Amino acid sequence: MDVYVIIELLLISIGATSAMTWFSYAMSGSFRELYREPVLLSFALERTNINHSQSYQEKWGWLMHYIIGFLFVMGYHIMWVENILPLTLLSTLILGVTSGAIGIFSWIFIFKITRYRAPIDFNGCYIQLFFAHIFFALVVASFNSISEILSIVVNNHIIF
């Protein structure tokens, strides 16, 4: 994997993770519940009893959220490049559903090990998280397709 692919995946992951975060914030506002992953991550960090400032925990929550997004994008990229799954709407939905399930089980694990008893609607949080990951996968696939088109245009010096 060359440096350009890593930069491409980094940009796609930033865009898709930001879009997913926007989706979660919109759902959080609509349902007046705490569905914001970076905030929940910072709360989970707080429960680890590692003494850091609130600002530090919030920054780490955001950083962890984007790192996890990058790892998902890397996984999708490998699936598509190795022809494990084609880049189609159906395979993108499959990746989104799979990512959603991974996300839900990860949050259940995080809440369990940190003994986090937030005053949130866990079922609503998990349902929102499931759909947020489907949205994430759709954005990743869209950005990936745009990137492929731009690569073809640039490599072939096609001018419109």
* pLDDT attached to residue 82: 95
Say if 142 falls within a structural domain.
yes
Q: Is residue 36 part of a domain?
A: yes
Q: Is residue 158 one of the residues assigned to a domain?
A: no
pLDDT in tens, 28-67: 777 676 666 766 666 666 666 666 676 777 778 788 889 9
Mean pLDDT score across all residues of the chain? 85
In a domain, 136, yes or no: yes
The pLDDT assigned to 14 comes to 97
**33 is a domain residue:** yes
Nearest residue to 35 (alpha-carbon basis) of 115, 93, 122, 97: 122
Model pTM score: 0.85
Q: Is residue 153 part of a domain?
A: no
If one counts the domains in the chain, the total is: 1
User: In this structure, is residue 115 part of a structural domain?
Assistant: yes
Number of residues that this document lists for the chain: 160
pLDDT at 123 over 60: yes
pLDDT at 25 exceeding the cut of 90: no
Predicted confidence (pLDDT) at residue 95 exceeds the cutoff of 90? yes
Copy the structure tokens of residue 27.
Answer: 């759902």
Write the CB contacts of 25 (distance below 8 Å, at least 6 apart in sequence).
35, 36
Numbers of helices and strands, H then E, in the chain: 5, 0
Q: What angle do CA 92, 69, 120 make, to 5 degrees?
A: 100
Structure tokens at 17: 């993770």
89: containing domain: 3-148
Q: How many whole angstroms from its chain centre is CA 158?
A: 33
Q: Would residue 159 count as lying in a domain?
A: no
Q: Give the DSSP per-residue string, 65-115.
A: HHHHHHHHHHHHHHHHHTTSS-SSHHHHHHHHHHHHHHHHHHHHHHHHHHT
